[in-house]
Amino acid sequence: MTVRVRFAPSPTGMFHVGGARSALQNWIFAKQQGGVFVLRVEDTDAARNKPEWTEGILSALEWIGIARDTYEGPYFQSAYAGEHRAAAGRLYDAGRAYYCDCTREAVQARTGSQYQGYDGFCRDRGLPPGEGRALRFRTPDEGTTVVVDLIRGEPTFENKLIEDFVIARGDGSPVFLLANVVDDLTMGITHVIRAEEHLPNTPKQQLLWDALGVKPPVWAHVPVVVNEKRQKLSKRRDKVALEAYRDEGYLAAAMRNYLMLLGWAPSGDREIVPWSVIEEEFRLTEVNPSPAFFDEKKLRAFNGEYIRALPVDEFVAACRPWLTGTGTIAPPPWQPEEFDADAFAAVAPLAQTRIAVLSEIVPNVDFLFLADPLIDEAAWAKAMKEGAAELLDAAVAGYTALESWDAESLKSTLEAVGAERGLKLGKAQAPVRVAVTGRTVGLPLFESLEVLGRERTLARLRAARLRLV
């Protein structure tokens, strides 16, 4: 039997990092088993679905490493409406479902509670199909439903506590529970690997599989992903969109490594490991069922490690979209023609050790590509204190007289300027750094001045001195 797994997102917004984690787990499991990964887009909620969100899912999967030629699909749930309705009809004909005309208000009136489930009022009324009549599954009165789960053991549910749930609405359209089962059946899905939040639906779906006369798939419910307050990650409250991390400059390799650690760990005392190791070592049965904490600070640290591990030429290429204004949320503060690839290549090794996400490259190197630096006024106030004007005058004089414009000469000149005023180099270079780069922190100063060049450096020092008049 060929293993077939599926990832079935709904295109109702940005791609959730929890969904990306589930997709990776399904994809790796299928690959390990020599099986098939199926992508199914559950698009039956037309009011909430948008084509661009479907394309966003495909693009995000591609970015995370699940290329379009490595899976089957995408299939669209809406294309299987006929199969859904046919299955509902078979269940009705077999006496496993019945029609119900009860409104929510009527049920509440009979039960005296808005929280109690359906009371089975129409179970034996023998209502035929009719407008506005929902189709309910006839849940067995006795016994239990045991869900055999690779991660959670054998959760057991008493059938008497499962209400007769709706499988088709009053207009005949199937609900998620039935459509999901029929799609899995139609596509030959053998293993369902999905988030823990779906576990409460699983006994109902397993009853549907049994009623349709087919053996249910193997279940595996991976842990819910939570924030630092141990609350389930929410699109309304938390930063959960995979695209947002991509556009901020997280590396795909770092992201997928981190996502795979949400509920699982490779062997040994290590977390940052080659993808080949994860593909080899990942085991569904080793996934921890406890909630998994999505730690953005840890992800950021992961990403910094991955950035520092890049060969310099790959780092330069990875930064280019942020430096040239392509594929980013916000363009850089310079025009594309002002970007100097050679200048950036010269400082790239210095910048690579200082950033944790690629978008941070812009404020670190913007001074190289602007006619005038972007002055941080707080930094200016901090650096340009008493004596700054005289120090800038001396720096201009010393740098004008330099025969060799290199980092070591620039450093020794400013050291001498500072020593004449009783200042250590750290204090002496503060006004110079702000005058030239606009900030108090950044790349190593003297290497930056060497790349910026004599003319532009002296022009900025003189402009800063005039501002202090």
Report how far residue 300's alpha carbon sits from residue 295's, in angstroms, rounded to the nearest whole number: 9
Burial 339-353 (b: 16+ CB within 10 A, else e): beeebbebbbebbbe
Report how far residue 111's alpha carbon sits from residue 114's, in angstroms, rounded to the nearest whole number: 8
Catalytic (active site) residue 160: no
Two tokens, residue 333: 């503060």
Q: How many CB atoms lie within 10 A of CB 129?
A: 11
The SS3 call for residue 136 is strand
What radius of gyration do the chain's Cα atoms show?
Answer: 31
Report how far residue 426's alpha carbon sits from residue 223's, in angstroms, rounded to the nearest whole number: 50
Report how far residue 163's alpha carbon sits from residue 179's, in angstroms, rounded to the nearest whole number: 19
Q: Which residues contact 201 (CB under 8 A, 6 or more apart)?
A: 177
Phi and psi, residue 174, nearest 5°:
-70, 150
Q: How many CB atoms lie within 10 A of CB 126?
A: 8
Which one of the listed residues 50, 235, 385, 424 is annotated catalytic? 235
Provide the edge-to-edge strand list for the sheet that holds 166-168: 97-100, 134-137, 166-168
Neighbouring C-alpha atoms within 13 Å toward the C-beta of 236: 2
Report how far residue 285's alpha carbon sits from residue 264's, in angstroms, rounded to the nearest whole number: 10
Report how far residue 316's alpha carbon sits from residue 348's, in angstroms, rounded to the nearest whole number: 7
Residues annotated as part of the active site: 235
